[in-house]
Chain A
Amino acid sequence: MTVTETATRPPHAPARSQAEPKRRRKPLSDNLAGYLFLTPWLIGVAVFVAGPTLASLYLSFTNFNLLSPPKWVGLQNYIQLFTVDPRYIHSIEVTLIYVVASVPLSLAAALVLALLLNTKIRGVGIYRSIYYVPSLLGGSVAIAILWRQVFDSNGIFSHFLQLFGIPATSWISTPGLSIWTLIFLHVWQFGSPMVIFLAGLKQIPTELYEAAAVDGASKWMQFRNITLPLLTPIVFFNLILTMINAFQAFTPAYVVSSGTGGPLDSTLFYTLYLYINGFTNFRMGYASAMGWVLLIVVAAFAAAAFATSRYWVYYEDSED
């Protein structure tokens, strides 16, 4: 939410420019200079973002295999996706399970650790580093390869469970379990929302806690009535970011399943199935239709988050 907040705020620091309002009317030359500075970006938007977005809308109504010219088929790709392609429906289910499980879990882990690390104890910097570093490494192929081994029947997770008498199974190649190894991999990378939470916690004025302590508020009441409300904008920001990223997860599923989405399509993430259609089978039109459905779904989730935000996200300006 902070994002849109800054969007609407005038770029000049309000305190200073209010003293001299006439300065606001900037000379016309800014138009030319502004667009000159913006030229590379504008080209980028046209060529690499807006153009391709529209092109993929067009392609989604065609059959195109890169060799012969696109053939217009109307809504056929979309109809096929939802009526005769069980793998597609399955990939939606897998992706939704992944998003719905991993986003709240990783945000909860991030918040708890941020609260624990927001204390003045010795070695807090080292702890923070240790919890943060997996978020930098975790998206790589290397870690996905490691994961594939850790949760295999001969992997260290099985060996660990055997200490408690639980027989070895391959979590990676058991259909009901494999998705959970990927969810766990996502949660393991909670360090980056954690750091954002930590920064947010540092901004909460100490005086609020002091006043609450004077009034006899317990630690829990302080958390419930000060920390949590003041942190909701950051929870919201993290929620949007983590959710959008989770919808697009690709690397771990590809590596763990050797690009197949197996076993039994249990790790067939949306983007993985899109990859298989577009870049293995070269059904570019079909893949484009998948891209557009994803855009609509992600936009709907984001819109839902924004729409409900006024009921649970606290904004200082509105109450002060």
Chain B
Amino acid sequence: MATTTAAPTLTGAPRADRRPPRRRGSHLVLHIVLIIGSIIMIYPLVWMIGASLKPESDIFSGNTLNPFPVDFSWGNYVKGWVGSGDVTFGTFFLNSLLVCLGAIVGNLFSCSLAAYAFARMHFKFRGLWFAIMLGMLMLPFPITIVPQYIMFHALGWTNSILPLIVPKFFGVESFFVFLMIQFIRTIPKELEQAAQVDGANRFQIYTRVVLPLLTPALVTTTIFTFIWTWNDFFSQLIYLGKPERYTVAVGLQSFLDASGQSEWGAMFAMTTLSLIPVFLLFLFFQRRLVDGIATTGLK
């Protein structure tokens, strides 16, 4: 944007007639480069979707590189859905959805409370807590995972989804606290002051003024929490030991271990299915996602 717009001030007129032809030529080159890059980026995905719709015998015979199926078939999906044991992918999807839902509710609740306090209130040691919050952003997860596991094991929570959900109700995902703080800072303070003058207390201001205005950041938090929880593997792997509790990520891995190596068609049918929720969210909330990382990355 910055390089191509001819500004109406200073330099606009004299250069306007010289520039267009050169620009059109370089745009063609740019398009070609970008298209080749795009093909490299999405070819593996397209190939996978195509392979999931080919009969098993067609995937590695004939023109393997052609992603488009000659004999179109849904058979892989039927076969894959059943999975390798007595638990179907239906259970895995349901478990993943439950974990995501719990994580979303937890993050929305706890992170917005903390963010409001950090963004708008003056209390003792605020700077210290804020620094700790930022530090948590960079804390590698392996440092806490062992004691957390021991704790949840002692509580008898392993083999349940509780260890994956309960921490989210306590604001441990600093990324979202930070995201919301950044957003609240852009809200004009006059609105809250007006509510204060009208006799609203802090909690009422939070629920009736801040939360509604915070909606865009809450939506971003919801989507990112969903995607990250859906894609998460490590914690789901260590906490979920029984097939009835498996999430999609763990289910896919166990399917691969059990039979996927010989049944790539069914395998790819299930990997494709597992990517659909994230892909749909991306389609509908692209702007939100992009703005979300951009605002936390900047200020």
Residues of A within 8 A of B (CB): 2-7, 11-13, 16, 26, 30-31, 33-38, 40-45, 47-49, 51-53, 55-56, 59, 64, 66, 113, 116-121, 123, 127-134, 136-137, 139-143, 145-150, 154, 156, 159-160, 163, 188, 192, 195-196, 198-207, 209-211, 213-214, 219, 222, 234, 237-238, 240-241, 244, 247-248, 250-251, 254-255, 258, 270-271, 274-275, 278-279, 284, 287-288, 290-292, 294-295, 298, 302
A143 CA to B60 CA, complexed, in Å? 19
Contact in complex: B238, A118 (CB < 8 Å): no
Q: How many Å from the CB of A211 to the closest CB on chain B? A: 8
Contact in complex: B274, A52 (CB < 8 Å): no
- For the complex, count residues of B whose C-beta is within 8 A of A: 111
Main secondary structure of the interface of A (DSSP, over half): helix
Residues of B within 8 A of A (CB): 1-5, 7, 9-11, 15, 27, 30-31, 33-34, 37-38, 41-42, 44-45, 47-48, 60, 64-65, 109-110, 113-114, 116-124, 126-127, 129-134, 136-151, 153, 167, 169-172, 177-178, 182, 185, 189, 202, 206, 227, 230-231, 233-234, 237-238, 248-250, 252-253, 256-257, 260, 264, 267-268, 270-272, 274-275, 278-279, 282, 286, 289-290, 293-295, 297-299
A117 to B, closest residue via Cβ? B34
B64 contact set on A, CB distance < 8 A: 156, 159
A272 to B, closest residue via Cβ? B234
CB-based closest 3 A-B pairs: A44-B170, A34-B123, A199-B294
B150 contact set on A, CB distance < 8 A: 55, 59, 64, 66, 284
A139 contact set on B, CB distance < 8 A: 231
Q: How many Å from the CB of A309 to the closest CB on chain B? A: 15
Contact in complex: A137, B121 (CB < 8 Å): no
A56 CA to B139 CA, complexed, in Å? 14
Contact in complex: A291, B142 (CB < 8 Å): yes
Q: How many Å from the CB of B195 to the closest CB on chain A? A: 14
